[in-house]
Amino acid sequence: MENIFIFLFNSIIVSSTICTADRLSNSVSLKIQRSFCFYCGHNLAWFDTIPVVSACILRNKCRYCHTSFGRYYAIFELFYILIGTFLWGTPVTWITGVFLLFLSLEDCSKQSIHANILFPWIGYLLVLHHDAEHLCLTVLILILSIILVKHRHTLGSGDIPVLLSLILSTTPVIFSCTLLIGCCLALFYLLYSQQKRLPFVPFLSGGWVITNLYILFLL
């Protein structure tokens, strides 16, 4: 029964996070309570907003204008719901995952994120993990990130709080694996797409997910 509750709670959190990111990316006020279709503007009924289930029944299309809102939307939503359920036992990791999901969606949409929402979280993590190992790595990454932002222009300023959150929310080894995998994923994407710029947060999130799933199931 407890696992069912955790799964349902994560369904609500993931669905709300996706909705919030969509609204901010499309400059839609969060004060509008009713969910609606971004294509036709029609208000959605409650049975159109059930996480995963509604997307599967409607085949990832709006019930009213029949516009597709993503071929793999239900799979994406279910994937993050399951990740949240698996990570429920470690609250710091779970909360970090929610932030990463939100910021990744924003970064994918407009390559700009509301990184300021991470500052209170970083402050809490500094109180929680203020040992010499974490602090030294934090200072090192902060200096390197500032150099990449100010002088090399190869990193966005919004990526710095994300990196600091990742450092302070886990062990240095896990952070190193996350950063390595994220950079490799980003490099493969650049080689495949032949683009000069990319949203880096989704690749960091991908590295973070892969690392945590490896720890959960293979260690």
The predicted-structure confidence for 206-219, as pLDDT tens digits, reads as follows: 999 999 999 988 76
Instruction: Name the DSSP class of 48.
Output: G
Q: Map out the domains of the chain as residue ranges.
A: 1-86, 91-219
- How is residue 68 written in tokens? 């597709």
pLDDT of residue 35: 82
pLDDT in tens, 148-158: 888 767 788 88
User: What are the angstrom distances between the C-alpha of 90 and each of 78, 95, 96?
Assistant: 20, 9, 10
Q: How far apart are the first and last CA of the chain?
A: 27
The CA distance from 126 to 97, in Å, is 18
Cβ pair 125, 92 in contact under 8 A: yes
pLDDT (0 to 100) of residue 169: 93
Please tell me the pTM assigned to this model.
0.89
**Alpha carbon of residue 162 to chain centroid:** 10
What the block records as the tokens of 134 is 């974490």
As beta bridge partners, residue 36 has 43
Distance CA 209, CA 219 (A): 15
CB-count exposure of residue 31 (10 Å: 0-12, 13-18, 19+):
exposed
Secondary structure E strands in the chain:
none
Burial of 71 from C-beta contacts in 10 A (0-12 / 13-18 / 19+): exposed
Amino acid 209: pLDDT: 94
Going residue by residue through the chain (219 aa), what tens digit of pLDDT does each one get? 788 899 999 999 998 898 888 888 777 777 766 788 878 878 888 788 888 888 888 888 888 888 887 767 788 889 999 999 999 989 999 999 999 999 999 998 888 898 999 999 999 999 988 888 888 999 999 999 889 888 767 788 889 999 999 999 999 999 999 999 999 999 998 888 877 778 899 999 999 999 999 998 876
